C-alpha cells in the first residue's frame, strides 16, 4: 500500500454533498494502497492538442481513459470540453451520500445533482499526489480528511481488492492549528488562517470529483478550544467544508482500523499508539484467543492522553532540549499512564516481551525510522512497515538528543517544521515504552484517514460489489 504523501489505508457514514455545510436536520456524518500512474486529461477527452493529419483518412492516436484509441481526423465524434463550473460546499448530509452539487456560491445555492467536472485541474499543491489506475473512473470514490492539531491531511481513494484501496488524490500540510492552545485555551488567528487555506485546497479537490461518501473530521485542537465551534463555522463559510469533531474513543478506533495490515500474524497482542499534536491515543489489542478481519474488535482497553508533540513542546520547550529536560517530559507522560486504569488488561500477554509488539503511527516514529535508515529524502515506501528493535530505537533517540536545533533542521527527515517537536514526541514514545517494554516496534505511515476509508468502504459494501464483479 502506497500513499503519495507523508502523513500518514466509523461506524457512521459521512456524506459528501449539499450546500451550506453542516445541516442540523441531517444525520450526523459517518464516517497512509498502491499508487499507480494514469488518469485522464481534459485534452485527451475533448480531442484538443491532437496531432494534425494531412488528410481526412489519416489516423491520429490519442489516449482516452487510460487506453489507446484511434479516431479519424475530421471526425465530429469527440465531445466538447466540459464547461467550467463554480465550487460548491462540502459537508455532512444524509447517509445515502450524493455527489456534491454545483453552485454559484458557497451559500444560499440550490441543491442538485452534480454534473461531471472538467478533468483538467491546477497542479497539486505541495505535499499532494494524484494518480489513477485503470477504470478508476468507473469505481466509487471515497474521501477522508483529518484536521489535527499539527497537520491537515486528505486522502481520496477507490476500492480495489477486498480490504484494499488505491489512492487517486491526496494532500498534506503542516498547519499547527493548536499553536498556543495549551496556554490560551483558544485557537489563534494565524493558526486558523493557515488551516483555512489548507482546507480550501482540500475542498477544491473534493469538489473536482464525484465522491460517493466522505468523512471529514477534526480532532484534539477543535475539541479543546473555546472557539472551536466558531472556527468550524468559519471553515464552512470560507472553505465550503463541514467538519465533524470526533471523540477520543473514535479517534483511537480509527487509528487501529487504519493499521490492521501491519500487525504481525504470529503475535498475541499489540500496543498501538498514535502520537498526535494535542493528544496521544493508545489502544491495547488482545489477539491471544482469536483474530477477526476488523482489528478494532479486539481492543480490550484504550486511553487518550491529553498531551501531544505540540502541547508538550510548548510546556517544556522543544528547541533546546537537554537530557534533564527530556527526562522530565518522559516522567510527565509516564505519570499520565500510571493513572490509566486499563493499562494492565493485556498483562497476560505483555508479561512476555516476545509475545507482543508496539505499533506506532505518528510523525515521531516515521521520523525516527527515516533517521535510522539514513535517508537523504523521506521515502514512505521504505518507512511504512519497518521493524525496529529496542537497541535501534534507543540509538535514534540518543542521536536526536545529541543534535542541536540546527542539526535537527538540517536533517531531511525532520526539517524546520518538526525540529522543535520531534524530541517531545520521543519523550511520549519513551513513556509508552516504559510501561509496555516490547522487544520490537513496527512503524506505520498510515492512520486515521486510512481507517476512515476502510470503514466507509466496508460499511458501503464496496468490496462486496467488487467480489460480484470479479465472479
Helix (H) or strand (E) holding 206: helix 189-207
Please say if the pLDDT value at position 240 is more than 80: yes
Please say if the pLDDT value at position 451 is more than 70: yes
pLDDT, tens digit, 9 for 90 and up, residues 140-156: 999 999 999 999 999 99
As a whole number, the mean pLDDT across the chain is: 78
Cβ contact 287:294 at 8 Å: no
pTM recorded for the entire structure: 0.71
pLDDT, tens digit, 9 for 90 and up, residues 84-118: 333 445 654 333 333 333 333 333 333 233 333 33
Average pLDDT of span 341-367: 94
pLDDT tier for residue 457 given thresholds of 50, 70 and 90: very high
| Rg (alpha carbons) of the chain, rounded to whole number | 23
Cβ contact 301:319 at 8 Å: no
Selected residue with higher pLDDT from 452 and 115: 452
Selected residue with higher pLDDT from 54 and 306: 306
Please say if the pLDDT value at position 38 is more than 70: no
Please say if the pLDDT value at position 373 is more than 80: yes
In this prediction, residue 449 carries a pLDDT of 94
Q: Are strands 440-444 and 387-389 parallel, antiparallel or unpaired?
A: antiparallel
Residue holding cell 527526562? Answer: 327
In this prediction, residue 42 carries a pLDDT of 35
Give helix then strand counts, H and E, for the chain: 17, 14
End-to-end CA distance of the chain: 24
Cell numbers at residue 432, please?
Answer: 509508552
pLDDT, tens digit, 9 for 90 and up, residues 289-321: 888 878 889 999 999 999 999 999 999 999 999
Q: How many residues does the chain have?
A: 471
Cell numbers at residue 284, please?
Answer: 491495547
Residue holding cell 480495489? Answer: 160
Residue holding cell 497482542? Answer: 269
In this prediction, residue 292 carries a pLDDT of 83
Selected residue with higher pLDDT from 445 and 79: 445
Helix (H) or strand (E) holding 270: strand 269-275
Average pLDDT of span 35-53: 36
pLDDT, tens digit, 9 for 90 and up, residues 413-436: 999 999 999 999 999 999 999 999
Highest mean pLDDT among 4-8, 130-134, 399-403: 399-403
358 phi and psi angles, rounded to 5 deg: -90, 145
Distance of CA 322 to the CA centre of its chain: 32
pLDDT, tens digit, 9 for 90 and up, residues 2-15: 344 443 333 333 33
Please say if the pLDDT value at position 190 is more than 80: yes
Longest Cα–Cα distance in the chain: 81
Cβ contact 142:214 at 8 Å: yes
Amino acid at each position: 500500500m502506497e500513499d503519495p504523501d507523508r502523513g500518514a489505508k466509523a461506524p457512521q457514514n459521512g456524506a459528501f454533498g449539499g450546500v451550506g455545510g453542516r445541516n442540523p436536520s441531517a444525520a450526523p456524518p459517518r464516517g497512509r494502497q498502491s499508487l499507480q500512474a494514469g488518469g485522464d486529461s481534459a485534452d485527451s477527452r475533448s480531442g484538443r492538442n491532437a496531432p494534425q493529419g494531412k488528410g481526412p483518412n489519416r489516423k491520429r492516436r490519442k489516449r482516452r481513459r487510460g487506453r489507446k484509441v484511434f479516431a479519424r481526423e475530421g471526425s465530429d465524434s469527440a465531445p466538447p470540453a466540459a464547461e467550467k463550473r463554480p465550487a460548491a460546499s462540502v459537508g455532512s448530509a444524509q447517509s445515502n451520500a450524493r455527489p456534491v452539487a454545483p453552485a454559484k456560491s458557497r451559500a444560499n445555492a440550490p441543491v442538485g445533482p452534480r454534473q461531471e467536472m472538467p478533468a483538467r485541474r491546477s497542479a497539486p499543491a505541495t505535499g499532494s499526489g494524484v494518480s489513477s489506475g485503470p477504470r478508476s473512473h468507473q469505481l466509487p470514490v471515497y474521501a477522508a480528511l483529518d484536521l489535527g492539531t499539527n497537520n491537515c491531511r486528505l486522502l481520496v481513494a477507490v476500492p480495489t481488492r477486498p480490504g484494499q484501496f488505491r489512492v487517486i488524490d491526496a494532500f498534506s500540510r503542516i498547519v499547527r492549528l493548536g499553536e498556543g492552545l495549551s496556554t490560551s485555551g483558544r485557537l489563534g488567528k494565524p493558526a486558523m488562517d493557515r488551516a483555512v487555506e489548507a482546507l480550501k485546497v482540500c475542498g477544491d479537490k473534493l469538489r473536482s470529483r464525484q465522491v460517493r461518501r466522505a468523512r471529514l473530521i477534526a480532532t484534539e485542537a477543535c475539541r479543546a478550544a473555546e472557539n472551536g465551534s466558531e472556527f468550524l463555522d468559519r471553515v464552512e463559510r470560507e472553505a465550503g467544508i463541514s467538519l465533524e469533531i470526533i471523540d477520543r474513543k473514535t479517534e483511537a478506533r480509527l487509528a487501529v482500523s487504519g493499521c490492521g495490515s501491519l500487525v504481525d500474524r504470529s503475535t498475541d497482542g499489540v500496543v498501538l499508539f498514535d502520537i498526535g499534536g494535542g493528544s496521544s491515543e493508545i489502544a491495547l489489542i488482545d489477539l491471544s484467543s482469536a483474530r477477526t478481519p476488523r482489528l478494532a474488535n479486539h481492543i480490550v482497553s484504550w486511553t487518550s492522553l491529553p498531551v501531544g508533540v505540540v502541547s508538550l513542546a510548548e510546556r517544556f520547550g522543544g528547541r533546546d532540549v537537554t537530557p534533564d529536560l527530556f527526562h522530565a517530559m518522559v516522567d510527565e507522560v509516564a505519570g499520565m499512564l500510571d493513572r490509566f486504569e486499563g493499562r494492565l488488561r493485556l498483562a497476560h500477554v505483555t508479561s512476555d516481551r516476545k509475545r507482543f509488539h508496539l505499533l506506532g503511527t505518528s510523525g515521531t516514529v516515521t521520523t525516527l525510522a527515516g533517521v535510522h535508515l539514513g535517508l537523504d529524502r523521506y521515502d514512505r515506501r521504505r518507512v511504512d512497515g519497518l521493524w525496529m528493535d529496542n537497541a535501534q530505537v534507543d540509538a535514534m533517540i540518543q542521536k536526536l538528543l545529541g543534535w542541536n536545533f540546527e542539526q535537527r533542521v538540517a536533517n531531511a527527515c525532520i526539517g524546520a517544521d518538526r525540529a522543535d517537536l520531534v524530541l517531545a514526541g520521543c519523550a511520549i514514545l519513551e513513556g509508552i515504552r516504559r510501561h509496555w517494554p516490547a522487544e520490537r516496534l513496527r512503524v506505520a505511515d498510515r492512520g486515521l484517514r486510512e481507517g476512515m476509508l476502510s470503514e466507509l468502504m466496508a460499511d458501503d459494501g464496496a468490496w462486496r460489489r467488487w467480489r460480484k464483479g470479479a465472479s
